[in-house]
Amino acid sequence: MGLMDKIRGEFIDIVEWTDDTRDTIVWRFPRHENEIKMTAKLVVRESQVAVFVNEGTIADVFKPGTYTLETQNLPVLSTLKGWKYGFNSPFKAEVYFVSTRQFTDLKWGTQNPAMMRDPEFGMVRVRAFGTYSIKAADPAVLLRELVGTDPEFTTDEVDEFVRQSVVSRVVTALATSGVAALDLAAHQNEISTRLAGIISEDLNLIGLQMPRFIIENVSLPPEVEATMDKRTSMGVLGDLDQFTKYQAATAITDAAQNPGGIAGAGVGIGVGAALGAQLAQSLQPGAAPAAAPAEPSRPAEPSSRDQAPTSAPNGPPPLPGSTQWYLGMDGQQVGPLAQAEIQALVTAGTATTDTLVWRGGMVTWTRLADVPELQDLGSTPPPLPS
């Protein structure tokens, strides 16, 4: 390498920036004490602007294109350097490349809920979140107000400041919008567009602008949303009378699927009849929803002083000539029953020969096996002869 080649290598011939990141807004060209050669090439790509700074003063700004650095296209720098006669000597200057593309997918959200007056709910708290994008609007102002001498200025360094400005504007816009909380979703685009313009005016003071601002969601407190869900469920049910009839039919079906049926579930035949009467009443046109059947009261243990039970005041009287029996099952009084119904209970295993029975004319409760009329009910036939 000759002496001239060595000297020539000390000067920078090409000044350019190929950005391999997605978050760098401003990048300073590394000069490393080398001087930029006059007639060097300056390459400014689309979505870039090159700013020359001489001894702390912004000299020249170059838009996208390829330039040959000469005194003719460096008017401010030539004046500062005193090149009045076009003296082509190397010079030292800081070159900042400013990206003018949009930086997207920046998040924002209200850390604390915003208070607003709603015409339907009164005073409510709302939260909101979304995304926004920023870009450099005035490179010179951006360098003076934010970048300074930072060799690499990224979105992380300005994101928090912009986010605070966004949240402040959003809270004010929601509180003064005059839109009901339930209608905010329908006006999100309108509010977003208006806020983008307002926030851009604030950011212009630091050389930035906000091309796009999006409100993704505005939500109410969880307790308010839970109440709204209940109200929505009532609207989905529609006719509550029809729904009550359906519930009554479903309750009887579920009870019948228990082991042993309704009697095996512990409600007894009398309660099963009450459920049937309730269902029949609820299925009548215009009938009011029937209340759930009350659990039968637990009577006292039978004794010799027990009096003959009376029939239900609303029930039909017994048929003439038929004997009405009462059974004591699981501490509960079941009846009146006909002898054929007792036979069905014995066959099903619900009643046994030790079950206490009573009818009119008897002094006290007696075991089923000790009553002459019922002795044959608990007997089992002998095995067939071989």
At residue 137, the pLDDT reads: 92
Q: Is 286 left (phi over 0), alpha (psi -120 to 50) or beta?
A: left
In a domain, 231, yes or no: no
In a domain, 337, yes or no: yes
d(CA 204, CA 211): 12
Q: Is 367 left (phi over 0), alpha (psi -120 to 50) or beta?
A: beta
At residue 309, the pLDDT reads: 45
| DSSP at 143 | I
**Pair (205, 124) in one structural domain:** yes
d(CA 325, CA 332): 14
In a domain, 232, yes or no: no
207: its two tokens: 């050389």
d(CA 75, CA 58): 12
**Pair (174, 115) in one structural domain:** yes
In this structure, are residues 358 and 306 in contact, taking their beta carbons and an 8 Å threshold? yes
Among 179, 194, 225, which residue terminates a domain? 225
CATH of the domain at 169: 3.30.479.30
In a domain, 157, yes or no: yes
Amino acid at 13: D
Look at residue 8 and give its three-state secondary structure.
helix
Q: What residue spans of the chain are helical by DSSP H? A: 3-9, 75-81, 139-142, 156-176, 188-203, 222-237, 240-256, 261-264, 268-282, 339-348
Range of the structural domain that residue 74 is part of: 3-99
**Pair (126, 182) in one structural domain:** yes
pLDDT tens track, the chain, 386 positions:
444 444 444 567 889 999 888 899 999 998 766 688 888 899 999 999 999 998 888 889 999 999 998 888 888 888 877 776 666 778 888 899 999 999 988 999 988 888 888 777 778 888 889 999 999 999 999 999 999 889 999 999 998 889 988 988 888 888 877 788 778 888 888 888 888 888 988 899 999 999 999 988 888 877 777 777 777 776 766 666 766 776 777 776 676 666 555 444 444 445 555 555 555 555 555 554 444 444 444 444 444 444 444 444 455 555 555 678 888 888 888 878 888 888 888 877 778 888 888 888 788 888 878 887 777 776 665 667 76
To 10 degrees, what angle do helices 268-282 and 240-256 make?
150
In a domain, 23, yes or no: yes
End-to-end CA distance of the chain: 128
**Pair (35, 67) in one structural domain:** yes
**Pair (212, 259) in one structural domain:** no
**Pair (119, 213) in one structural domain:** yes
At residue 380, the pLDDT reads: 60
**Pair (16, 62) in one structural domain:** yes
In a domain, 146, yes or no: no
How many domains are there within the chain? 4
In a domain, 176, yes or no: yes
Among 225, 248, 275, which residue terminates a domain? 225
Q: How many CA atoms lie within 13 A of 145 on its CB side?
A: 15
**Pair (269, 336) in one structural domain:** no
Q: How many CB atoms lie within 10 A of CB 91?
A: 22
Residue whose tokens read 């089923």: 368
**Pair (27, 66) in one structural domain:** yes
**Pair (119, 179) in one structural domain:** yes
Amino acid at 349: G
**Pair (127, 93) in one structural domain:** no
| DSSP at 91 | B
To 10 degrees, what angle do helices 222-237 and 240-256 make?
90
**Pair (124, 194) in one structural domain:** yes
What Rg, from alpha-carbon coordinates, does the chain have?
Answer: 46
In a domain, 165, yes or no: yes
At residue 105, the pLDDT reads: 83
d(CA 386, CA 384): 6
CATH of the domain at 331: 3.30.1490
Q: Is 349 left (phi over 0), alpha (psi -120 to 50) or beta?
A: left
Q: Which of 209, 82, 32 is nearest to 135 (CA)?
A: 209
